[in-house]
Amino acid sequence: MIENKKGGIGIIIFFAILMGLLVVGFMATMMWSVLDIASDEITPVMEGLGMVGDVNISHASEVSFGVVDGFVQSIPWLIAMGYILALVFTLVGIFLIGYSPSPAYIAFFFSLMLLLVIGSVVISNMYQDIYSGDDDVASRLQEQTIMSFLILHSPWIFSLIATIGGIIMFGRNPGGGGGVI
């Protein structure tokens, strides 16, 4: 009989990735809000410059800053899709890697899951405070419906992902045979 002596490093990596994704999603959403505010302020000014000598600066600015502004307006969808794919990839990664820790680490798994949920609640509450304001950043966050939903509901989303990840990790046959015989 082969004993499973795998340690808990895979569990730590799993929860570090999940917490990192939460922080990166929060930061990306905030940075986009600031970038969108700057883009909305700079683009009209640059497009209204007019003629300088024989060069139409307004047209050149419209071509350059208009394209950049169009890209800035599409960033929320890129952030949301990247965030969702990263969350799905964490579960796919566990499944593909084949990590199956010793059942002795279940209590350790639940303690890290509790820390993840507490961290998710803290990030969600910080986001809620900014989201419910009446300034420019709050209006930009309210435009990002998908990311706002994902971050505001992150405690139950991350607990669901951690539960499914735990089932995949601890429900495997430690011998790697693919099933229970």
What confidence score (pLDDT) does residue 58 get? 74
Kindly state the tokens that stand for 46.
């640059």
Per-residue pLDDT of the chain (181 residues; tens, 9 = 90+): 444 456 678 899 999 999 999 999 999 999 999 998 888 887 777 777 767 677 777 777 777 777 788 888 889 999 999 999 999 999 998 888 878 888 888 999 999 999 999 999 999 999 999 999 999 999 999 988 999 999 999 999 999 999 999 998 888 766 554 444 4
